[in-house]
Amino acid sequence: MNITITPKAEKFMRRIVRFGGGPADSGFRLTVTAGGCSGLASEFSAEAAPKDGDATLDWNGLKVFLSAESRLLLDGVTIDFVDTTLESGLSFINPNAASCGCSSAESAKPAQTTVSIADIKRT
């Protein structure tokens, strides 16, 4: 899998797992689907184990559970964490994706999706 997780995103993921209430060996489940302005929509949660068909990415000891569709959509993507006055959450930066046509000012930036902390679903 050709996925990069920045240190800020890794720290955020570890916090979600640590405070998720599961066993010590829980992981971070990330589900990405096609949709949204930049072409990606996503949700995440702390999970005790991967689901059938998931692959487990070991990132410095952090288990990240990814479905087959998520693995395809995240190929070549950098997962970052942003925390500004306007947004807070995971950001997916895909240098190969077309930029959003919503604003000409944004056209020079790589396509990016941010998931708000408020979107976390507790399972």
pTM summary value? 0.76
Looking at residue 99, its pLDDT comes to: 60
CA dist 16 and 31 (Å) reads 15
pLDDT tens digits for range 49-101: 999 999 999 999 999 999 999 999 999 999 999 898 887 888 888 887 666 55
- 């996925």: which residue's tokens? 3
pLDDT tier at 26 (50, 70, 90 boundaries)? very high
Phi-psi category of residue 89: left, alpha or beta, with phi > 0 → left and psi -120 to 50 → alpha: left
Looking at residue 72, its pLDDT comes to: 92
- Indicate the average pLDDT of the chain: 81
Give the percent of the chain with pLDDT over 70.
75
